[in-house]
Amino acid sequence: MMSELRDCVSQLRSKATSRTPRQFLLPKDNRGFAKKVSDYYGELTFDFKATDDISDAVKKEILKALDEGRGIKKEHAEAVAKAVTDWAVNNGATHFCHWFQPLTGGTAEKHDAFFQFNKQGKPMEKLSAGQLMQGEPDASSFPNGGSRSTFEARGYTTWDLSSPMFLIEGTNGRTLCIPTAFVSYNGDALDVKTPLLRSISKLNVAATKFLNLVGHTETTSVQVTCGAEQEYFLIDKAFYFARPDLVMTGRTLFGALTTRNQQLEDHYFGLIPDRILAFMQELDYELHRLGIPAKTRHNEVAPAQFELAPIFSEANVAADNNQMIMTTLKRVAEKHDMMVLLHEKPFAGINGSGKHVNWSMCDNTGLNLLEPGTEPQHNLRFLATIAIIVDALHRHANPLRMAISGAGNDHRLGANEAPPSIISAYLGDTLDKIFHAITEDKTFSPNLNNVIDLGTNQLAHLLRDNTDRNRTSPFAFTGNKFEFRAVGSSQAIGFPMTILNAAVTDTMLEANSYLEEQLAKGASVDAALMSLIKKIMSHSFQAVFNGDGYSKEWVAEAQRRGLPNQRTTPESLKTMTDPGSYQFLVNLGIFKREEIDTRYNILLERYIKIREIELETMIDMIHQFVIPSGLEYKKVLAKIIKNQTSIGISSQFEMEAYKKVTAKIDEIHVLSQNLVKELNADHSDHQKYAEKIAQELMLVSTTMAVICNDLEELIPNQFYNLPKYYDMLFLR
Output the CA torsion sign for 653, 658, 660, 661. Answer: positive
**Cβ atoms of 408 and 343 closer than 8 Å:** yes
| C-alpha pair distances (Å), 553 with each of 474, 517, 542 | 16, 41, 15
- CA-wise closest residue to 327 among 191, 485, 170: 170
Quick check: 468 pLDDT over 70? no
Report which DSSP code applies to 576.
Answer: G
Higher pLDDT: 376 or 597? It is 597
The pLDDT, as a whole number, for residue 105 is: 87
For residue 195, is pLDDT > 90?
yes
pLDDT at res. 416: 59
- Supply the pLDDT for residue 454: 36
Q: Are 508 and 377 in contact (CB under 8 A)?
A: no
Nearest to 226 by CA among 37, 490, 501, 545: 501
pLDDT at 510: 98
The sign one gets for the Cα dihedral 326, 330, 333, 335 is negative
CA distance 477 to 426: 6
> What gap in Å lies between CA 59 and CA 57, rounded to an integer?
5
| Residue range 618-630, pLDDT digits in tens | 999 999 999 999 9
Measured between alpha carbons, how far is residue 162 from residues 97, 200, 432, 437 in Å? 17, 12, 38, 43
Q: Which residue has the higher pLDDT, 454 or 234?
A: 234
- Quick one: pLDDT at residue 145? 63
Q: How confident is the model at residue 606 (pLDDT cuts 50, 70, 90)?
A: very high
Q: What does the pLDDT look like over 383-420, one tens digit per residue?
A: 999 999 999 999 999 999 999 999 999 998 866 566 67
Confidence of residue 641 (pLDDT cuts 50, 70, 90): very high
Does residue 476 contact residue 485 with C-beta atoms inside 8 Å? yes
Amino acid 265: pLDDT: 79
**Is the pLDDT score of 35 beyond 80?**
yes
Has residue 148 got a pLDDT over 60? no
Number of Cα atoms under 13 Å in the Cβ half of residue 73: 11
Residue 114 in this model has a pLDDT that exceeds 70: yes
Q: What is the mean pLDDT of residues 41-65?
A: 92
Which whole-number Å values give the CA distances from 605 to 245, 663, 688, in the listed order? 20, 36, 12
Contact 128, 579 (CB under 8 A): no
Separation between Cα atoms, residue 531 and residue 384, nearest integer Å: 10
- Compute the C-alpha angle 580/585/587, nearest 5°: 85
The residue-averaged pLDDT of 422-449 equals 82
pLDDT > 80? residue 450: no
User: What does the pLDDT average to over 242-261?
Assistant: 95
Tell me how crowded residue 333 is: count the other CB atoms within 10 A of its CB: 21
* Helical (H) or strand (E) element with 520: helix 494-520
- Cα distances from 513 to residues 215, 510, 586, in angstroms, run 15, 5, 19
Summarize the confidence of residues 601-613 as an average pLDDT: 97
- Going from the C-alpha of 519 to that of each of 245, 512, 516, 528, the distances in angstroms are 62, 10, 5, 7
- Residue 24, Cβ density class (10 Å: 0-12 exposed, 13-18 middle, ≥19 buried): middle
Residue 186: pLDDT band with limits 50, 70, 90: confident
Angstrom distance (rounded) from CA 259 to CA 725: 10
Q: Is the pLDDT of residue 463 over 50?
A: no
Q: Once rounded to an integer, what is the mean pLDDT over residues 525-536?
A: 94
Average pLDDT over residues 2-20: 77
Residue 540: what pLDDT?
Answer: 94
Write b or e for each residue in 628-654: b if 16 or more Cβ atoms lie within 10 A of its Cβ, otherwise e. Answer: bbbebbbeebeebbeeeeeeeeebeeb
Mean pLDDT, the chain, integer = 90
Residues 6+ apart with CB under 8 A from 515: 210, 213, 214, 528, 529, 532
End-to-end Cα separation, the chain, in angstroms: 27
Q: What digits encode the pLDDT tens for the residues 296-345?
A: 999 999 999 999 999 999 999 999 999 999 999 999 999 999 999 999 99
Question: Are 387 and 435 spatial neighbours (Cβ–Cβ below 8 Å)?
Answer: yes
Cα angle for residues 180, 182, 185 (degrees, 5° grid): 135
- Looking at the predicted structure, is the pLDDT value of residue 149 above 80? no
- How crowded is the C-beta side of 406, counted as CA atoms within 13 Å? 21
Contacts of 719 (CB under 8 A, 6+ apart): 2, 6, 629, 632, 633, 636
| DSSP symbol at 273 | P
pLDDT score at 147: 60
For the stretch 335-379, pLDDT in tens is: 999 999 999 999 999 999 999 999 999 999 999 999 987 776 668
Q: How confident is the model at residue 458 (pLDDT cuts 50, 70, 90)?
A: very low
* Neighbouring C-beta atoms of residue 17, cutoff 10 Å: 12
3-class SS string, 276-314: HHHHHHHHHHHHHHCCCCEEEEEECCCCCEEEEEECCEE
Set out the domains of the chain in order of their start, with CATH numbers: 41-190 (3.10.20.70), 192-226+364-448+459-591 (no CATH), 606-730 (1.20.120.1560)
For the segment 473-499, the average pLDDT, to the nearest whole number, is: 94
Say how far apart CA 11 and CA 8 lie, in whole Å. 5
CA torsion angle 40 44 50 54 (round to 10) = 130
Query: Is the per-residue pLDDT at 67 higher than 90?
Result: no
Which residues make Cβ contacts (< 8 Å) with residue 505, sequence separation at least 6? Answer: 199, 202, 203, 206, 588
pLDDT band at 264 (very low <50, low <70, confident <90, very high): confident
pLDDT at 559 over 60: yes
What are 644-665's pLDDT values in tens digits? 999 989 889 999 999 999 999 9
DSSP 694: I
Question: Residue 583's pLDDT is what?
Answer: 96
Compute the average pLDDT of residues 436-441. Answer: 85
Q: What percent of the chain has pLDDT over 70?
A: 92
For 142-167, give the DSSP string: S--TTSS-GGG-BEEEEE-TTS-EEE
Catalogue the E-assigned strands of 88-199.
Answer: 93-99, 111-113, 115-117, 123-125, 134-135, 155-159, 165-170, 173-184
Confidence check: pLDDT of 460 > 50: no
> If pLDDT is split at 50, 70 and 90, which confidence band does 117 have?
confident
